[in-house]
């Protein structure tokens, strides 16, 4: 099996994770074959990717531009159908936000190996997605760096973990007071100190909402109760997360922050491939590694997310919907940075949660939350 070629569908190919996925595939073109590429609205980049990777199926979410990518040698096919193609064995879900949910679910239901970079699918519908994965023998392999780290630490262990410790860089505004945070601009928030990521997740990292979503994601991926998941701020972003075992021993995964490593590990698993493009940790230059507890007063999104995760039902979907809407407003300079948490909190407190929701109810809750945020304006 080790040297058989994997056949991939890359959904969200023009986004940050999608582009870095294609960088990895380019480095190991003899091992991977791109069968399908789907993107949001960047038709120019998608056209260049089609030319290079020669997929059989393509898609662009932006209907106005969909005709512009038509060409000979490939067919247009929506992402959920791509996730279902018999020819495809691995589906990379690199779509950001809520748009990743339905393709992830389709891939899981088709019994594929799902390399999952999108966290909303598990946050919004973790119970459904993980249950369907079990039922259809689909494997969900995390691409999110923290979850990849935990997965790597658990590899080979037969005793369940006692505690998961998710590390957080703390974002660009670590140590800022609430008063300073009031004045933060979108431009400042988009400058992440250590990671190269898309816009939505970069803002979520600055508010620490991202870490809260990751706690919920870890809860579902590793079947770990919320009480046994901790968050630790580690500004150097060298340790990507840790696992504590029953005997008190702690395993960590270290590397320079580069998303290509978790992407590559998910794609090459169980093998590890030598990739000269990935930077090796230089211990002569490695500064000291420091740790501190997260500041939940200045960054209330972390607590809001964990609380929504614990409440379960439709609360996590409301959290995601409200956050996505609020982040869009912040990027459009319509609200302040600190309004993101405020709007999310207001929306959550006005929500009547439904327990064990079906997919429809989850999607409705998300839509309701987005509308609430707009109404508060």
Q: Where on the chain is the footprint of Mg ion (CB under 5 A)?
A: 144-146
State the minimum distance, in angstroms, from the CB of residue 144 to Mg ion.
Answer: 4
Query: Which are the contacts of 368, defined by CB distance < 8 A and separation ≥ 6?
Result: 318, 321, 351
Closest CA to 115 of 21, 213, 35, 252: 21
Closest CA to 241 of 157, 165, 169, 292: 165
Q: Read off the tokens for 137.
A: 């023998």
**Nearer Cβ to Mg ion, position 146 or 258?**
146
Q: How far apart are CA 24 and CA 13, in angstroms?
A: 12
State the minimum distance, in angstroms, from the CB of residue 183 to Mg ion.
Answer: 27
Phi and psi (nearest 5°) for 113? -80, 125
**Nearer Cβ to Mg ion, position 146 or 324?**
146
State the minimum distance, in angstroms, from the CB of residue 214 to Mg ion.
Answer: 5
State the minimum distance, in angstroms, from the CB of residue 168 to Mg ion.
Answer: 9
DSSP state of 31: T
337, 189 contact by CB (below 8 A): yes
Q: How many CA atoms lie within 13 A of 83 on its CB side?
A: 26
State the minimum distance, in angstroms, from the CB of residue 325 to Mg ion.
Answer: 21
**Nearer Cβ to Mg ion, position 113 or 169?**
169
Q: How far apart are CA 64 and CA 110, in angstroms?
A: 29
**Peptide bond preceding 77: is omega within 30 degrees of 0, i.e. cis?**
no
**Nearer Cβ to Mg ion, position 145 or 152?**
145
State the minimum distance, in angstroms, from the CB of residue 167 to Mg ion.
Answer: 9
**Nearer Cβ to Mg ion, position 120 or 146?**
146
Residue nearest to Mg ion (CB): 144
Ordered DSSP codes for 38-77: EESS-HHHHHHHHHHH--SEEEES-HHHHGGG--TT-EE-
State the minimum distance, in angstroms, from the CB of residue 148 to Mg ion.
Answer: 9
**Nearer Cβ to Mg ion, position 305 or 365?**
305
**Nearer Cβ to Mg ion, position 17 or 318?**
17
């Amino acid at each position: 099996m080790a040297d058989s070629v994997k056949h991939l569908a890359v959904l969200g190919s023009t986004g940050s994770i999608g582009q870095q996925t294609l960088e990895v595939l380019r480095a190991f073109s003899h091992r991977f074959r791109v069968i399908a590429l789907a993107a949001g609205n960047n038709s120019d980049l998608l056209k260049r990717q089609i030319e290079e990777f020669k997929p059989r199926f393509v898609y662009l979410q932006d209907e106005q531009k969909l005709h512009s990518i038509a060409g000979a040698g490939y067919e247009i096919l929506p992402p959920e159908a791509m996730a279902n193609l018999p020819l495809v064995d691995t589906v990379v879900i690199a779509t950001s936000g809520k748009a990743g949910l339905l393709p992830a679910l389709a891939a899981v239901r088709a019994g594929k190996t799902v390399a999952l970079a999108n966290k909303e699918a598990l946050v919004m519908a973790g119970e459904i997605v993980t249950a369907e994965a079990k039922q259809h023998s689909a494997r969900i392999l995390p691409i999110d760096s923290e979850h990849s780290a935990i997965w790597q630490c658990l590899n080979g262990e037969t005793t369940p973990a006692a505690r998961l410790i998710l590390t957080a860089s703390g974002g660009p505004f670590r140590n800022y007071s609430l008063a300073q945070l009031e004045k933060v601009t979108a431009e400042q928030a988009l400058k992440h100190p250590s990671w190269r990521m898309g816009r939505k997740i970069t803002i979520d990292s600055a508010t620490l909402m991202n870490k809260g979503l990751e706690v919920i994601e870890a809860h579902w991926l590793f079947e770990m109760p919320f009480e046994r998941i901790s968050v630790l701020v580690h500004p150097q972003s060298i340790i990507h997360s840790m696992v504590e075992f029953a005997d008190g021993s702690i395993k960590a995964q270290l590397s320079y922050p580069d998303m290509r490593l978790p992407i590559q590990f998910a794609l090459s698993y169980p093998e590890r491939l030598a990739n000269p493009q990935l930077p090796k940790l230089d211990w002569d230059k490695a500064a000291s590694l420091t740790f501190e507890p997260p500041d939940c007063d200045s960054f209330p999104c972390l607590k809001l997310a964990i609380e929504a995760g614990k409440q379960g039902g439709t609360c996590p979907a409301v959290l995601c919907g409200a956050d996505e809407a609020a982040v869009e407003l912040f990027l459009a300079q319509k609200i302040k940075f600190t309004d993101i948490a405020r709007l999310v909190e207001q929306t959550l407190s006005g929500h009547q949660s439904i327990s064990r929701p079906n997919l429809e109810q989850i999607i409705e809750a998300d839509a309701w939350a987005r509308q609430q945020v707009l109404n508060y304006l």
